[in-house]
Amino acid sequence: MNNLIIDIGNTSIKYAVFEDGRCVWHCSANKNSLTEFQEACSFDINYVALSSVSTTGDELHKALQDMPYPVLNISTKTKLPFKIADYIPDTLGADRIAAVAGAHQQYPHQDVLVIDLGTCITYELLTKEGIYACGNISPGLQMRLTSMHEHTTLLPEYTYDGEWPDILGTNTRNAMIGGVVWGIKGEMEGYIRTFKKDKPYMKVIITGGNSKSFAEKLDADVLQDSMLVEKGLNYILEYNYKQ
């Protein structure tokens, strides 16, 4: 069973091909490029799982409509291997559903906090009973840097290069990047600390963007998995077509 996984985010598209549950190919692409999609389709694909934060109508969505195999568009209406609490609205994003699915696959009988450092930072709580209970959305790293530039007169716009900054900067660039990065670190540790008061055995998985550099600096025991969302999408796909 060969599955094509497509995760259309706010800034890029991630592709992955899973063969019998194992990722054999993956890449990240510009949203305006179809080259990587065509490369992915060169595999002997059986099914496709799609997570998208974009509206339909772009070139990739049009290409997907012409595919000769089933395309599972992930939403709250999809048959899922975990339960979404009744009070959660149907607007829950497919990328957040996929991240929780990836956590459920790895820790099916444990409380798990999933932190996804994407364009926005999302916090998702999966209970040991297999229920998605709640979540929050916070501005992402680059969004915070851009916002400071756009809402002030003199602050420039900078891009974080992945190098961990000193806690206090000695110039404008270091002060802005340090303020954002150390602020996110404190925010994440605050969530982890708060949830662990009631759930001391809770697992924490961080994924997305700069998750690797944060995993190394957090004052908490975390698992870093850059492909959690893709694994979750494949898990949902197999849950729907293997039964």
Distance of CA 53 to the CA centre of its chain: 11
Q: From the CB of residue 85, how many other CB atoms can be counted at a distance below 10 Å?
A: 11
Which residue type is seen at 118?
A: G
Counting other chains too, the contacts that 179-187 makes at CB distance below 8 Å and 24 or more residues apart are: 180/141, 180/144, 180/145, 180/148, 181/141, 183/144, 184/117, 184/121, 184/141, 184/144, 184/214, 185/214, 185/217, 185/218, 187/121, 187/138
Helices 228-241, 94-106: inter-axial angle, 10-degree rounding: 80
Q: For 44, how many CA atoms within 13 A lie in the half-sphere containing its CB?
A: 3
Nearest to 101 by CA among 224, 229, 209: 229
Residues written for the chain: 243
List the catalytic residues: 95
Give the β-pairing of 203-207 and 223-224: parallel
Nearest to 78 by CA among 64, 90, 68, 87: 90
**Residue 29 contacts residue 3 (beta carbons within 8 Å):** no
